[in-house]
């Protein structure tokens, strides 16, 4: 396991993924009943953009640094940026802070969840797990586990709340990760059919993604919403061109909510107006 998210924290793919996560949780929190959030590949919890890792890749410069100081932003982006700003203010001790820290998915969810909600975080890298455990030590509603994310799906589903959001955000270090996902998801859905599942995936070329979409459609008999954002042409071999989220059992009108900010995001993040965005049912 070589992947460390510190190299990629705050990148354009993080912004896309985390904004969608905020849309999902906002929709689910419209009901008062408690929900359970399961983050199968949770990472370290938050990242220092001044650290050697982030400074080496500088991926945050074409991501969060481009929008952190924007004022005239869509409502959902404002809510997401408030969370990033709060994390920076916590460390700087001042309300008007500059950008240094970037929250990972567990910290973003903690910002939005209510006291009645619960979070389960699994992470397999021992160092990332230690950082995550330390960061969430004082968070009573969170449990943190050194565990394979796919084992976590078996161990923690269905949640006792019977309402849940599951983020599956693997590093895609292994070439067969997409195929593993297509196998793991039917098992998870068998255990918890009504859960909302958000699966992040990288876009390097369209053929691989079309194949992944086809296998999702064949193996999962549930509504699946696809949202994607690319900032380079999709078959450009030099870069990670974009990323997508496949959302199983999407909340009502999620597509419309995402389209309120995705065009804005593409305009602000795309490189010379390359790439594209899309939201559609599979
Ligand atoms: C893309 S990062 C997660 C980022 C995080 N979800 C966020 O949005 O802030 C993927 C994480 O999965 C971890 N990981 C790799 N293989 C895993 C596995 N089989 N089970 C759980 N975690 C794993 C990596 O150590 C890494 O921290």
Q: What is the pLDDT of residues 193-228, one digit of tens each?
A: 999 999 999 999 899 899 999 999 999 999 999 999
For residue range 240-255, list pLDDT tens digits in order. 999 999 999 999 999 9
- Region 129-152: mean pLDDT is 97
- Region 65-87: mean pLDDT is 96
Q: Whose CA is nearest to atom 19 of ligand 1?
A: 148
Kindly state the tokens that stand for 93: 């001790």
**Average pLDDT over the chain, rounded to an integer:** 95
Residue 235 pLDDT more than 80? no
Is the whole model's pTM more than 0.95, yes or no?
A: yes
How many whole angstroms separate alpha carbon 17 and alpha carbon 151?
23
Residues within 6 Å of ligand 1 by CB: 1, 3, 5, 17, 39, 41-43, 104-105, 122-125, 128, 148-149, 169, 171
Question: Domains in the chain, ordered, with CATH?
Answer: 5-281 (3.40.50.150)
Within 10 A of 202 (CB to CB), how many other CB atoms are there? 17
Q: Which of 24, 127, 170 to mutate to test the pocket of ligand 1 (most atoms within 8 A of CB)?
A: 170
How many whole angstroms separate alpha carbon 135 and alpha carbon 223?
35
Three-class SS state of 202: strand
pLDDT value of position 160: 97
Residue 93 pLDDT more than 90? no
Q: How far is the CA of 169 from the centre of ligand 1 (A)?
A: 6
Helix H or strand E segment including 74:
none
Helix H or strand E segment including 43:
none
List Cβ neighbours of 91 (8 Å cut-off, separation of 6 or more). Answer: 97, 100, 101
Q: Whose CA is nearest to atom 13 of ligand 1?
A: 41
Residue 176 pLDDT more than 90? no
Q: Edge to edge, what strands does the sheet with 142-146 contain?
A: 142-146, 118-123, 36-39, 164-168, 196-203, 242-248, 224-230, 277-281
């Amino acid at each position: 396991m070589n992947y460390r998210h510190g190299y990629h924290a705050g990148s354009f793919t993080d912004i896309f993924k985390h904004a969608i996560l905020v849309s999902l949780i906002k929709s689910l929190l419209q009901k008062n009943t408690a929900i359970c959030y399961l983050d199968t590949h949770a990472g370290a919890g938050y990242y220092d953009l001044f650290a050697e890792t982030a400074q080496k890749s500088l991926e945050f410069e074409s991501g969060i640094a481009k929008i952190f100081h924007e004022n005239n932003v869509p409502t959902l982006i404002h809510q997401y940026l408030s969370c990033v700003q709060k994390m920076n203010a916590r460390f700087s001790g001042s309300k008007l802070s500059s950008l240094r820290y970037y929250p990972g998915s567990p910290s973003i969810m903690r910002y939005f969840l209510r006291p009645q909600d619960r979070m389960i975080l699994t992470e397999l890298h021992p160092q990332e797990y230690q950082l995550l455990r330390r960061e969430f030590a004082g968070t009573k509603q969170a449990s943190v586990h050194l565990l394979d994310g796919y084992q976590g799906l078996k161990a923690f589903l269905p949640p006792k709340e019977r309402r849940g959001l599951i983020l599956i955000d693997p590093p895609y270090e292994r070439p067969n990760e997409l195929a593993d996902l297509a196998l793991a998801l039917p098992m998870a859905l068998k255990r918890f059919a009504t859960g909302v599942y958000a699966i992040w995936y990288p876009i390097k070329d369209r053929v691989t993604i079309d194949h992944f979409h086809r296998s999702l459609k064949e193996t999962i008999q549930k509504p699946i919403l696809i949202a994607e954002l690319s900032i380079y042409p999709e078959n450009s071999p030099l870069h990670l061109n974009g990323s997508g989220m496949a959302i199983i059992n999407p909340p009502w009108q999620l597509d419309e909510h995402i389209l309120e900010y995705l065009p804005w995001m593409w305009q602000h993040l795309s490189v010379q107006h390359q790439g594209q965005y899309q939201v559609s049912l599979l």
